[in-house]
A and B are shown apart, each in its own frame.
Chain A
Amino acid sequence: MPAGPSLTVVIAEDGVLLREGLATLLARFGHRVAATAGDAEALVKAVEEHAPDIVVTDVRMPPGFSDEGLRAAVALRAAHPGLAVLVLSQYVEQTYATELLDSGDGTGVGYLLKDRIGEVEEFVDALTTVAGGGTVVDPEVVRQLLRRRRDPLRRLTPREREVLALMAEGRSNAAIARALVVSEAVVGKHIGNILAKLDLPPDEDAHRRVLAVVAFLRG
């Protein structure tokens, strides 16, 4: 198992099966699950009590089974600036992703489909990224965003569009290089071209760059 920095995590998920599974999974990757919660109220209490590095929460939870988890996450970020939140959702809801990215300064948030948990290593990577102040956006959300801003994106080559999608997901240069099986230098060149074509300011900070790209895609 890869040994990164050990994080203190609070998990909120109403499905017992998934909640326990997530706890086991994160423990195996060396993280400390301080508490698990079955609803939004318990989540808020657990955060007060354990001051975790990151919260992993389901969007939909009791009692109303609408978006209690998401609202709790947004409220927690307002109350505890700097608290990282990774929101898991059964479906891609552009609105949810947007609300989350707009909470705080947009750093230290992640929005992923529950399906992504299956790729355990990538999932734990995403968790680490978010806890480190990064932004992680589900590929599905990015795909929808790319569809929305079709016009300016026509200036990009197909390869550049691929790179852009991976950037928007919050991947680092190294991760993009791994995914596309190219060198990091090539990725850096692509990124430079993309930013120039879209009139985005070149920025060495990966986190801020993600936000700029996502902001651009959201129009």
Chain B
Amino acid sequence: MKYEAVIGLEIHAQLATKSKIFSGAPTAYGAEPNTQACAVDLGFPGVLPVLNKDAVTMAVRFGLGIRAAVNKRCVFARKNYFYPDLPKGYQISQFDLPIVGEGYIDILLDDDKTKRIGITRAHLEEDAGKSLHEDFQGSTGIDLNRAGTPLLEIVSEPDLSSAKEAVAYLKNIHELVRYLEICDGNMAEGSFRCDANVSVRLVGETELGTRTETKNVNSFRFVEKAINYEIERQIDVIEAGGTITQETRLYDADTNTTRPMRSKEEAHDYRYFPDPDLLPVVITDDLIESIRITLPELPDEKRKRFMETFGLNAYDASVLSSSRPLASYFEAVVKDCNEPKLATNWVMGELSGALNKDGVEIENSPVSAEQLAGMISRITDNTISGKIAKQVFIGMWNGEGSADEIIEKQGLKQVTDTGAIEKIIDDIIAKNPSQVEAYRGGKDKLFGFFVGQVMKETQGKANPKQVNDLLKDKLK
């Protein structure tokens, strides 16, 4: 690897408020065009913005979630540019005094090591409207429902060195905003989107290369693809003796390429200045403390606790702590059956598989945590084997009742009567003299054959450990 990539992400998270950041218009998704755009959102003369308290609270929650310093005094600024979906001719944003200062988040790499990614800042701003360029002969249609929707723009340090790391970081922030209940994280609806700043340089070089910004990539998969494409493209340009132009590019998912978005002569000149319509926002220590006590256990804290308390490995702990509902379910199972290892396997294996297959959220799982724990307890007390348990699980998934009811109804109870198993083994040994001889002659692999025969005879209901012990004894 001759080149290395330097990547920073700008994430826009739509805050889960009921009303807009500066007006009382609703923020619900999917309404008829322009039915949720009031006079303030439309930038009518004489209107004044008034800041939404919950937008501030949510930004502070995020700040505490990334262990950042929350700025006690922050200021809104006007970012000036002309576009038809920005009726005022400026976007209200924050510039030199954002609400959230420097923080960080730890991401888990493939080798189970963690890497700390710096977050430069996070600031509040309003979203713009939506332009529709199709279907109108010679015109562009404007829907301003989204104008004024509160956004938190989260800017990372250029600490990411591959597309994979960028996706891991993005997923961690996504996980965090949902834990904090400040954003629904719906990427398809645009409530969580991301721009990637990418540059490359020779390994060992300390100066940063010229970067490009790839806009609005709206899925985790596309983020990885867009960044990889951009890294390759930049290396190709440099290898061919060219130079990288600092520009904004747009990712095209259909062709898996990026292309320049606007011409370079239109260099950005946003002429930021403090918005005279809004006063400085003061955030008191009392407010910060009152928000801090409402914070849930954060994903990385939970991950760490799962590893320490339940002995999980980093990967399992990370999957099980990736969402609050999943983590609660897992903890409820462990609490009931006291078998963290089995609970991990079942929740991440059969249960997650079934949920995925049927497209069901864990909150609506047909198998409750209590039911799953009940089934696990039947494995540990030797009522059923792990193999039979899969059959019991399917029964529970299909609503046939609790594990005990299914075991009873379908007669799945393990045969643990030594005498009965011994009799079956004796029969099998009598019926297969050549295999017995071969085994005794050193063909150890044949042991599995005998186990299989016993299981077949008992329809899988014999206790595997018991069968093993008895077989070993009899085949000596």
Q: Tell whether A and B belong to one assembly.
A: no
Interface residues of A (CB under 8 A from B): none
Interface residues of B (CB under 8 A from A): none
